Structure 1
Amino acid sequence: MKKLILAMLLLSSFPDTMAGAEELTEPEIISEAAVLTDSESGAILYEKNADKKMFPASLTKIATAIYAIENGDLNEMATVSEEAVEVDGTRVYLEKGEEVPLKKLVQGMLINSGNDAAWAIAEHLDGSMDRYSVNLNSYLKEKVHLENTHFVNPHGLHDENHYTTAEDLAKLTNYALKNETFKKIFGTKELKWSGKSWETTIFTHHRMLKGEVPFEGVTGGKTGFVDEAKQTLATSAENESIKLTAIVLKADFKRDIYKDTKSLLNFGFNHFESSDLSSTEVFPADGKNYTTGGKDVAITLPKGTFNENVTPKGKLLIEDQNGKVIQTVQLSEDKKDEVVSSQLKPEEEPKKETTGYYGKIGLTLFLFAVFILLLIKNLKEKARRRRRV
């Protein structure tokens, strides 16, 4: 009875982890589309119109940056054309004929959102905008695995055929953040700039990264705006438990994209944490064993109670306390036991034990009886010695 009371007291001391806990309250988002993901696992933690076709504005430059970093030589000198100098929108004021290292163009484009730098990058890599568009879209589909994105320029100035989704932008940003060069530039707050026409310091336009909109843990970001796309924002942030990527698209005012981003990041930090599936872990399901295929896999777990279920087809479903699927991981069937079994010859088959459960009990009783007999014999011997005395 005392043990039962103690167990009840222990259970009552953990109300937040019980199955009956209240459902997580998702943030109210003003922007037309938004998505929050774990930067490492890619798990989608919140979404609003995540697969809706949207115009990204200057968030396009995330794609241009990682494409240039992975496909170009950052130490090469690019020659700035007249077309690059005359491009509309934000600039770093390049001069016609100026020779600039490719890395510096990527910095000017990501940090200060220079459209002229973006144009110069595209021309340097592929020679023309048409060839650049073809090559970039192939790269985004084949390397980054984006399915709902089509870009026709490197900077994001409006074109009806230039579109993406919030989900694709999050996937793109997560992919790019795995590259240390991109990650460093994406998180740069200011940079001294020495060009042919001016010397200055360029600053990020991202107010949370710069500190104008206070929020602890922001590690990188990119802003965007054109009339058709309205305000857009990409943000990376982290704490001791998880790294997050937030994308918000099409807000009327800057204050709204920052408010939405703060709400998304707070939601992620408060309710989720990162973990790993070990390469040695085995998941039984439907008479089969599944593994991660010999590699560690990043996953996202809800804080508190959660469930891990494996489907008959080997998909691991990570669910929160209310049954909502947080992440799906495709496992691999473990064929090791089957291979070993099939390689055994008939005479090599393991011998079956002849000592069953009841046989083991009999042996135990026999040994116990021998012990008692020896004990009795010893006691009798001691009694005889006393009588002799």
Structure 2
Amino acid sequence: MRMDGIGSARWRRQWLVAAALLLLFSLAPLPSSGNADAAAANVSAISTQAKAAAIIDVESGRLLYSKNGDEPMRIASLTKIMTAIVAIENGNLADKVKVSVRAAGKEGSSIYLRAGEVMKLEDMLYGLMLRSGNDAATAIAEHVGGSIDGFVKMMNEKAEWIGLKHSRFMNPSGLDEDGHLSTANDLAKLTAYALHNPTFAAIVKTRVKKAPNPNEQWDYSWSNKNKMLAMYEGADGVKTGYTKAALRCLVSSATRNGQQLAAVTINDRNDWADHRSMLDWGFQHYVPTVIAKQGQPISGYTLAAGQSFRFPLAKGEASDLHSKLILLDPQSSRYALGERGVLQWELSGEVIGAIPVYETGSERLSWPDKKPIPAVEHATSAQVEAGSSFRTAIQAVVRALFGGGA
């Protein structure tokens, strides 16, 4: 099968997107209660005062911890994570958004927009995420979705596309409304997805944002409500939330030594302290481990890994890591484009990710690696201590797979 240059390039882009999504979202969910199989992973226990909680590794999409993770609950302004990513993906950041009477009069937290005021969509997104403006949420929804109902439909379609199985959105702000529910696990998956968007990631890590104010002689100045940005090393997001029915809700994220984690708590009276301990626990016990390097030959075949792959593993998990090479039909269009198959990894019988493989010496192997991967040796002293006892086992697995050193 032959394809012209444009068709080939388009198909290649589609395959790369599909591969990235497979890597991020083909992961099996961990138990929805308790310690997310911590006993099997041989890591210390963790507890929170939250009614529901979750921790996720952002790059891989692996849920590291879950407590009542699939129980639908009210989530307050954590809703705005979905509002923001839908607006970013479907709107034009340079658009001028006109504030309606309905938006200006929206109850709850506000950035004090006035009816008839015009603001750039990008600036309004900062007001949405830093100050949790319900007026901003309403104005954004009306602009991007054409109406509140139209935007809510987009939110639920996006939830279904990402694979959020227990979420239903009824409004863009998170104000309490019957049927407006999500879960700790779904919010973790949504956050991991959203943080892969550079615009979203830049907004949620901003501590102070100024924007033009057409009503006064001074600019708007919004300080981020997320105290984790100032109180936790490496913190870079994400969103606070509160209503009388949902109580305190929080999603936080942090990056250390190239690894980004996100933590979620719902109905937690001690959320700041819980998030510090949750993130510390995740960084300590789940070390990003290089499983394959781009160009690494596969033992027994004239094939090599098309990109690098790493995954967070805890002590004792290496023995449960297995690989499977799935070869393509030589008559398929993917084969015609140079791909020869997919190398898939399983952990304890569940698929954790996959990468394409190519002929050794293929031009494709010289393409820039999509995700540069820091060496495990760059981990913190705590991570090294946690990981040193199983690194030898990991290297043995990689040697068996690739017929050489790690």
Question: CA contact under 8 A between 1:35 and 1:170: conserved in structure 2?
Answer: yes
Task: Assess, with a 3 A threshold, how the Cα gap between structure 1 residues 238 and 72 changes in structure 2: closer, same or farther.
Answer: same
Tell which structure's C-alpha radius of gyration is larger. 1
Cα distance in 2 between the residues matched to 1:283 and 1:33: 42
Q: Report the Cα offset of residue 265 of structure 1.
A: 0.5
2:339 alignment partner in structure 1: none
1:317 alignment partner in structure 2: 346
Task: Give me the identity figure in percent.
Answer: 34
Q: How does 1:303-382 map to 2 (within 5 A)?
A: 306-310=318-322, 316-318=345-347, 328-331=351-354
User: Which secondary structure does the structure 2 equivalent of 1:51 belong to?
Assistant: coil
Q: Report the Cα offset of residue 301 of structure 1.
A: 1.9
Match of 1:273 among 276, 279, 287: 287
1:92 aligns with 2:111: yes
1:191 alignment partner in structure 2: 209
2:138 alignment partner in structure 1: 119
Task: Assess, with a 3 A threshold, how the Cα gap between structure 1 residues 330 and 282 changes in structure 2: closer, same or farther.
Answer: farther
2:242 alignment partner in structure 1: 225
1:201 alignment partner in structure 2: 221
Amino acid at match of 1:67: V
Task: Assess, with a 3 A threshold, how the Cα gap between structure 1 residues 293 and 54 changes in structure 2: closer, same or farther.
Answer: farther
Q: Report the Cα offset of residue 313 of structure 1.
A: 10
1:149 aligns with 2:149: no
Task: Assess, with a 3 A threshold, how the Cα gap between structure 1 residues 116 and 129 changes in structure 2: closer, same or farther.
Answer: same
Amino acid at match of 1:236: S
Task: Assess, with a 3 A threshold, how the Cα gap between structure 1 residues 25 and 122 changes in structure 2: closer, same or farther.
Answer: same
Q: How does 1:57-68 map to 2 (within 5 A)?
A: 57-68=76-87
Task: Assess, with a 3 A threshold, how the Cα gap between structure 1 residues 248 and 53 changes in structure 2: closer, same or farther.
Answer: same
1:140 alignment partner in structure 2: 159
1:260 aligns with 2:304: no
Cα distance in 1 between the residues matched to 2:206 and 2:168: 27
User: Which secondary structure does the structure 2 equivalent of 1:147 belong to?
Assistant: coil
Cα distance in 1 between the residues matched to 2:297 and 2:277: 37
Match of 1:44 among 63, 70, 75: 63
2:52 alignment partner in structure 1: 33
Cα distance in 2 between the residues matched to 1:22 and 1:297: 20
How big is each residue's C-alpha offset from its partner over 1:216-268, in whole Å with a ceiling of 9 and x where there is no partner? Answer: 111112100011111100111011152101111112x2xx1112111110101
Cα distance in 1 between the residues matched to 2:325 and 2:308: 20
Cα distance in 1 between the residues matched to 2:239 and 2:205: 9
Cα distance in 2 between the residues matched to 1:66 and 1:299: 25
Question: CA contact under 8 A between 1:283 and 1:310: conserved in structure 2?
Answer: no
Cα distance in 2 between the residues matched to 1:292 and 1:123: 49
Task: Assess, with a 3 A threshold, how the Cα gap between structure 1 residues 109 and 332 changes in structure 2: closer, same or farther.
Answer: closer
Task: Assess, with a 3 A threshold, how the Cα gap between structure 1 residues 40 and 84 changes in structure 2: closer, same or farther.
Answer: same
User: Which secondary structure does the structure 1 equivalent of 2:185 belong to?
Assistant: helix
User: Which secondary structure does the structure 2 equivalent of 1:263 belong to?
Assistant: helix
Question: Which of structure 1's runs of 4+ aligned residues deviate more than 6 A?
Answer: 311-315, 332-336
1:215 alignment partner in structure 2: 232
Q: CA RMSD in A?
A: 3.0
User: Which secondary structure does the structure 1 equivalent of 2:262 belong to?
Assistant: strand
Gaps of 5+ in 1: 1-20, 320-324, 337-389
Amino acid at match of 2:314: P
Cα distance in 2 between the residues matched to 1:131 and 1:299: 38
1:182 aligns with 2:200: yes
Match of 1:250 among 259, 267, 273: 267
Question: CA contact under 8 A between 2:41 and 2:317: conserved in structure 1?
Answer: no
How big is each residue's C-alpha offset from its partner over 1:5-64, in whole Å with a ceiling of 9 and x where there is no partner? Answer: xxxxxxxxxxxxxxxx99321211110111111110011111101111111110111111
User: Which secondary structure does the structure 1 equivalent of 2:319 belong to?
Assistant: strand
Task: Assess, with a 3 A threshold, how the Cα gap between structure 1 residues 82 and 299 changes in structure 2: closer, same or farther.
Answer: same
TM-score, normalization by structure 1: 0.70
Amino acid at match of 1:244: L
Amino acid at match of 1:301: L
Amino acid at match of 1:43: R
Q: Report the Cα offset of residue 173 of structure 1.
A: 0.9
User: Which secondary structure does the structure 1 equivalent of 2:251 belong to?
Assistant: strand
1:167 alignment partner in structure 2: 185
TM-score, normalization by structure 2: 0.67
Task: Assess, with a 3 A threshold, how the Cα gap between structure 1 residues 318 and 127 changes in structure 2: closer, same or farther.
Answer: same
Which range moved further: 268-277 or 165-174? Answer: 268-277
Q: How does 1:63-78 map to 2 (within 5 A)?
A: 63-78=82-97
Amino acid at match of 1:231: R
Cα distance in 2 between the residues matched to 1:117 and 1:163: 21
Cα distance in 1 between the residues matched to 2:125 and 2:239: 13
Amino acid at match of 2:88: I
Task: Assess, with a 3 A threshold, how the Cα gap between structure 1 residues 334 and 82 changes in structure 2: closer, same or farther.
Answer: closer
Task: Assess, with a 3 A threshold, how the Cα gap between structure 1 residues 332 and 85 changes in structure 2: closer, same or farther.
Answer: closer
